[in-house]
Amino acid sequence: MSTLKKPTLVNKDAALKFAEPARAVPAGNRVFFAPEGHRRLTINVTHEMHKKLRLMAVEQDTTITDILTKLVARELS
């Protein structure tokens, strides 16, 4: 039986370099990238919650992203 060990930072410079944001991609070449100055997040929601979000977006003539962004901003303020 093997045990898992907690990861360590052997090379802090490599870890810091890895954590830096990637170089900017020209706007015309972006596919599934966050706009300049933003970060992309991924969440898992139930099928039912996604369905309700889609319906809400259609009813408000907006996007799910706009709805969630407003909710997060309101919660953080």
pLDDT digits (tens, 9 = 90+) for 8-63: 667 777 767 766 766 665 666 656 778 888 888 899 999 999 999 999 999 999 99
What's the N-to-C CA distance of the chain in angstroms? 48
pLDDT of 36 reads 85
How far is 55 from 61, CA to CA, in rounded Å? 10
pLDDT of 22 reads 65
pTM exceeding 0.75: no
Q: What are phi and psi of 55, to 5 degrees?
A: -60, -45
Between 53 and 2, the more confident residue is 53
How far is 66 from 4, CA to CA, in rounded Å? 41
